[in-house]
Structure 1
């Protein structure tokens, strides 16, 4: 499936940076220099994955800036992915990123979907890589993940570690399962020290509970089997429609704009007609 996805990505003429392939015919000298630097970086990244130790890691949706760099069409997916998570003969293992109780699980959290699990940590606690891989992103996301690390693993898997107080790795750095990648914290959009931990398959969030038994922090199986059923929840979520509150908006104004009612808005967002809404706030209207 991986080869078919890469072929599809090539056929539609979109590079890893999202630029149409034909644009290269009209590049300025400055653009050519930038592209040369990007090509050099891409060769470096590709070189990392050619080593036997990291066989199976590809560069689809590779981007050092975007936490969510792309995703495949899981809604129309008809394949089955069989992913070997642990292979002791090859020296590949699993390590829980941190061991403590969950403060929030995968799924609905109030009226929003929570795409990972939150593990209780204290500031400065050691956070470890769950599997062998290559660091794709380290950055500060002020409105969301805070200080975050994204690691690319074999066969399209990625893990995300959010709300860190410090990141201790760099993009393109190779890491082994159990290696320290950061320190626990409370950065970004967070109301208390915890580790936000996500697992994604080609950009689509997978329930970490499908892999890990969080009562014991052990893998449920050495092999992960993924089908469309693992992503059915996304089909329903993507039918929902959201808007951003503007300055001066009221629930009445929003209801008129989106051809709905104040009562419906309140039901969808678990609020009351008297709730104060603020500019920048996200509200679901369908």
Structure 2
């Protein structure tokens, strides 16, 4: 009886081994086909690396194009660029007149005028800029887009003290003197309104202020010919440099009497009914410049005091 049980157990074990081997062989035979199908599915979901490379090269190329287009023209940053002088155009041929776009601007500081441009009898010399009130540490901003040509320190009691010169894409250069600290370096690109320095009292100065100059190819233009410092804006979107009048200020205030024909007067009144919002404008600034109030501006334009002004948008002021 024991012999028969042993024999039966052995037979059962052999049957089990045979069955398992057959199952394993069948499974193994199916594996390559399943693997190939899964492999094909994976490849189908993969991105073509060659197309990726082509796309990246195209995007990089386009980025370079737009980057170059945004930068100012390089040719204006050649003549006298390495000069350490404020006027590096001493031997240049300067045109008699030149129309300069000053529409994209920023006031270098909101301080009021403490000393105008012009000849100073007391010192027997020409004051080639305009002085604006600042406190030590006040932010000084670039007046227009451009590139820093020079940052220099003339010493504690000499000339401009710490000063910055920026050459702009519209052809002007601006000078910022008596600073306490530089916030930019030579060859650095800046946009109108970018911080470039901190106000100070360095150099030949009797108190904290900003000495601000506007120059065209070395000619020190009266900044008041370009900027309306009282209303913190430019007089017009374009300034025409003229060798015979660049020292003269412009004044468009109502208090100044001008001989104007009735037709021209009517035209100016119609234009004054609306203004275009410029960079740096606020409701209070526009109201002050046009002899009105913020509340009236809001009523005329259907806006409120918290409305964000869009550059280029027209606002009713009358």
TM-score grouping bracket, smaller chain normalisation: 0.5 to 0.7
* Mapped contact 2:152–2:162 kept (Cα < 8 A): yes
Give the length in aligned residue pairs: 176
Deviation at 1:144, TM superposition (A): 0.5
The answer on 1:189 being equivalent to 2:200 is no
Structure showing the higher helix proportion among its residues: 2
The answer on 1:100 being equivalent to 2:111 is yes
Q: More relative contact order in 1 or in 2 (CA 8 Å, sep 6+)?
A: 1
- How much is the aligned-residue C-alpha RMSD, in angstroms? 2.0
Match of 1:199 among 214, 221, 230: 214
The answer on 1:55 being equivalent to 2:72 is yes
Mapping for residues 70-149 of structure 1, pairs under 5 Å: 70-71=89-90, 79-86=96-103, 93-109=104-120, 110=122, 111-142=124-155, 143-149=158-164
* Mapped contact 1:140–1:146 kept (Cα < 8 A): yes
Deviation at 1:154, TM superposition (A): 2.1
User: Counterpart of 1:68?
Assistant: 87
User: Counterpart of 1:223?
Assistant: 238
Cα deviation code 1:215-246 (max 9, x no counterpart):
1120011111112213579xxxxxxxxxxxxx
Deviation at 1:126, TM superposition (A): 0.5
Matches of 1:119 and 1:94, distance apart in 2: 17
Matches of 1:108 and 1:217, distance apart in 2: 24
Structure 1, unaligned stretches of length 5 or more? 1-49, 87-92, 234-286
Q: TM-score, normalised by structure 1?
A: 0.58
Aligned CA distance change for structure 1 residues 204 and 103 (closer, same or farther; 3 Å):
same
Aligned CA distance change for structure 1 residues 231 and 84 (closer, same or farther; 3 Å):
closer
Q: TM-score, normalised by structure 2?
A: 0.52
Cα deviation code 1:57-115 (max 9, x no counterpart):
512221253332233568xx6632011122xxxxxx21100012111000022222100
Match of 2:186 among 171, 184, 207: 171
Deviation at 1:54, TM superposition (A): 3.1
Aligned CA distance change for structure 1 residues 80 and 72 (closer, same or farther; 3 Å):
farther
* Mapped contact 1:56–1:155 kept (Cα < 8 A): no
Residue 161 of structure 1: SS of its match in structure 2? strand
